[in-house]
Structure formats: C-alpha cells, structure tokens
Amino acid sequence: MAYPDDLLSSGEHVVIHKHPHWKMLVFPVFWLLVVVALGTYLGGLFGDQSWAAVVWIVLAAVGAVLVLWLTVTPFVRWRTTHFIITSDRVMYREGVFKRTGLDIPLARVNSVRFEHSFIDRLLGCGTLIIESASDEPLEFDDIPSVEKVHTMLYREVNDNPDDDFYPGTVDGRA
C-alpha cells in the first residue's frame, strides 16, 4: 500500500504503512448484526397491522441512524487512520473532517518498545511506544504485527545513513 507521494519529501520512501488492527471493527460488526436482527424482529412483530408501513419507515430510519453511528463511523475512522514509517520519519495520520497528524524524525527517536497482552498476542497486534526528544513517550495502540513493526523501526533508526556516528573512529569522524 503506497502512501500519497505528495506528502513525502524528495528521496523519502515508505517502509511500512499500516491501519489499526482489524479488532477495532469487531464491535461495529456486532452492532450491525444486532441492529439488523432487532429491526427484522420488530418489523415482523408489526407486519400484520394496517399501519405496518409507518412502522417499517420508522424502523428503517432508526436503523439507518444506528448503523451510521455504530458501524460506518468506526469503519471510516479505522480506514482513515494511518501509521507510516518512512526512510526519514514516523508519521501518524487520522481523521476525515478534522485531520490530525504527527511526524517524528527518525533522528529524534531515542528508543522503541512494544507491549501486548495475551489477547493482543493471539490477535497479532499491540502497542508501539516511541520515546523521542519530546517529554512523554508516544503510544500507538492496535498496531498489527507490532513486533515486526518494532524491528523495522529499530532498524530504520539505527541504520539511518544520516547518522553522525561512524564506527572505528574516536570522535565519530574519519
């Protein structure tokens, strides 16, 4: 999955591009099934009445609002949340109407660690924690394959050719 090239600087390329883990969509799908089942049940209860058309319209309107609120909105939020590691920085973008973005230059990353519970380990996701030059560590929840992302970010930070450290020298210079 490529990220839009107009957001990248010259010479920068995408290393990893992830959306949050699919577990964020479990409850929205559950609520979709509940709304459809409940609407169908209630529609069947009042289907024999002379005013059934009004009931069907009301049920459809309430069901549509609930599906938009409980299912479509979380799906759009999931789809528009991006965690990107490039050759130069870590980027986090989220939102549709109100976009929020965070960029951390790789040179500013001090340490990278991850956490995942037993359930997260079963599902293959976790929390990535990046300590940078800022005051507090930044936590990114529900990152799929968090151990692989951790390893790739660690490699990008330590293998960055822009680093000032040159092995085999006393002061870092040849």
The CATH number of residue 119's host domain is 2.30.29.30
Task: Quote the pLDDT of residue 1.
Answer: 44
| pLDDT tens profile 43-55 | 888 777 777 788 8
Note whether residue 56 is domain-resident: yes
Residues 47 and 100 in one domain: no
Residues of the chain whose pLDDT is less than 70? 1-5, 160-174
Task: Quote the pLDDT of residue 12.
Answer: 87
CB 141 within 8 A of CB 153: no
Q: How far is CA 131 from the centre of its chain?
A: 19
> What angle separates helix 52-67 from helix 26-45, to the nearest 10 degrees?
170
Residues 70 and 108 in one domain: no
| pLDDT tens profile 1-20 | 455 667 788 888 888 999 99
Beta strands across the sheet bearing 109-115? 109-115, 125-132, 138-144
Note whether residue 113 is domain-resident: yes
For the chain, the domain total comes to 2
Whole-prediction pTM value? 0.78
Range of the domain at 38: 25-77
Note whether residue 32 is domain-resident: yes
Residues 52 and 101 in one domain: no
- Helix extents (H) in 11-169: 26-45, 52-67, 73-79, 118-123, 146-158
